[in-house]
Amino acid sequence: MPDIVLTTLNAKWIHASFGLRYLRANLGELRDRSAIVEFTIAQRPVDVAERLLALQPRIVGLGVYVWNAAPALELVRVLKRVRPHLVVVLGGPEVSHETERQPIVAIADHVVCGEADLAFAALARRLLAGEPVGERVLHAELPHFPQLAWPYDEYDERDIAHRIVYVEASRGCPFTCEFCLSALEVPVRQAEVGGFLAQMQRLLDRGVRHFKFVDRTFNLNVAVSTAILRFFRERLRDGLFLHFEMIPDRLPDGLRAEIAAFPDGVLQFEVGIQSFDPPTNARISRRQDDARLHDNLHWLRDHTGVHVHADLIVGLPGEDVATFARGFDRLLALRPHEIQVGILKRLRGTPIVRHDAEHGMVWSEEPPYEILQTAMVPFDAMQAMKRLARYWDMVANQGNWNATLPALLAGDSAFAAFAAFTQWLHERTQTTTGIALHRLAALLFEWLTGPRGVAADQIGTAMAADYARCARHDWPEFLQPWVQGPARARTPPAAAAGAARQARHRGGD
């Protein structure tokens, strides 16, 4: 039985907690007295507690994040009521700030604020040795990569075969966007490139093909990012997939050359646009060169096989729906494969709250602390924007309706066209979840041939082309007049969800 159990509630089973693996790798002589046991937010906290207590640990280290804050509180309550002497140590971004306000902190024995890779190990040594630890809330000194053991051997064979493997070549961010924890002046630290690439080789040799980089600004250090891309390009193999979070206005020629050398479907770039409104960006301390951003996104779409995922945020202080709509239309014209319409969240510790009074920012008190209304976007309009975000992901981002989307978005403003569809769709369904593809197809057809007045032949042909391109076999009855030849007999390709989603987008390029 392990003395130390490291645990968390992941959003989905496919997500393997990177933080827990860093903690275990850096326990030193205590590593063999520890175990990682992961759960998901879909599991009942009382059942999670049962499994944890069956291991009879002396210390439970629990990672707390905005997505699991509510069930984590319930879990700690059960653990401490059933086993009052069990030592519960909290860590993670959710409990690293505003700790004095949180019920979960009041129940737990200790909290390690900040990057706990080394501080947790030091605390565990004292606890297991029976030394008194007077502080309940400990603030970790910022670790640097030379001090840390690599975490990658903590991924087991099941992780490698079935789960997302997270990696990082750097920590921190030089920017100070006020909605982000990076605004707290966390300095950028770079891993030693040779040692990092040796670890990537070990993962490749073990069969890892899907690498998700968690670096906040992967292309900040162009020499390092170029070296990493070259490393993977020289080791291309079937199924290789690399996800990076990129600064959208920083793609110099040397980095461009390396990116362009990759075949289609290997690279995915997540580019945070957030807003195209200069006053809004100035208000939240965000720096962005829009001219370079435009040039870079055009280049990525016209000259590379990169899958481009771009982000916009609803609810920023001082930005109204009309301003957001202009930004949305502008981004759509740059042709990213996906646009993530995110709702502003008040992450604990971020300085975005300084705008509350002036801009009427009203936040939910429940995780994930989404904005409810602002002076520029009243509650009912914010609710409509949240529905639009959900429907956009369902209809546009999945890549299922590439041929149909032009008719859906036609007009002077794509945003206005989709907002009208959003209002109609919600009136018809009264839900933003659980709409099966078959039903969504019928609703799209009804909207486009009804209120939008598009010819049935035009829409039927487009939707049938989308079904055939995505290799669907469950053709709805209303599409039968537009079925071409043997298309109905085709079956879905066997592919991972992410790869299949990208393939659907590429089919529409």
Q: In angstroms, rounded to a whole number, what is the distance separating the alpha carbons of residues 78 and 320?
A: 44
Q: Which helix (H) or strand (E) holds 446?
A: helix 437-449
Q: Is the peptide bond before 368 cis (omega within 30 degrees of 0)?
A: yes
Q: Cα torsion at 228, 231, 235, 237 (round to 10°)?
A: 10
Assess contact for 463 and 405: CB atoms under 8 A.
no
Query: Does 502 have pLDDT greater than 80?
Result: no
Task: For the chain, give the mean pLDDT.
Answer: 94
pLDDT digits (tens, 9 = 90+) for 304-353: 999 999 999 999 999 999 999 999 999 999 999 999 999 999 999 999 99
Task: Give SS3 for 440.
Answer: helix
The single residue listed with the structure tokens 């989905």 is: 12
Q: What is the CATH number that goes with domain 164-377?
A: 3.80.30.20
Indicate the domain borders of the chain.
Answer: 4-143, 164-377, 399-509
Nearest alpha-carbon partner for 106 in 88, 123, 92: 88
State in Å, rounded, how far the first CA of the chain is from the last one: 54
CB 332 within 8 A of CB 414: yes
C-beta of residue 461 within 8 angstroms of C-beta of residue 449: no
Q: What is the tens place of the pLDDT at every residue in 384-411?
A: 999 999 999 999 999 999 999 999 999 9
Residue range 68-92: average pLDDT? 98
Q: Domain 4-143, CATH 3.40.50.2300 — does that match?
A: yes
Strand-pair partners of 166: 212
- Confidence band (pLDDT; 50, 70, 90) for 440? very high
Distance CA(462)–CA(449), nearest Å, equals 12
251/292 Cα distance (integer angstroms): 9
Per-residue confidence at 11, pLDDT binned at 50, 70, 90?
very high
Rounded CA separation 166/210 (Å): 9
Reply yes or no on whether the pLDDT at 494 is more than 70.
no
pLDDT band (50, 70, 90) for residue 185:
low
Give me the residues paired with residue 210 across strands.
241
The whole model's pTM is what?
0.92
Measured distance CA(468)–CA(400) in Å, rounded: 10
The yes-or-no verdict on residue 113 having pLDDT over 90 is: yes
Has residue 188 got a pLDDT over 70?
A: yes
Q: Coil, helix or strand for 101?
A: helix
Looking at residue 181, its pLDDT comes to 87
Structure confidence at residue 509 (pLDDT): 61
8 forms bridges with which residues in the sheet? 38, 63
Residue 505 pLDDT grade (very low, low, confident, very high; cuts 50, 70, 90)? confident
Report residue 487's pLDDT band, with 50, 70 and 90 as the boundaries. Answer: very low
Mean local confidence (pLDDT), 78-95: 98
Distance CA 480, CA 494 (A): 25
Q: pLDDT at position 166, please?
A: 98
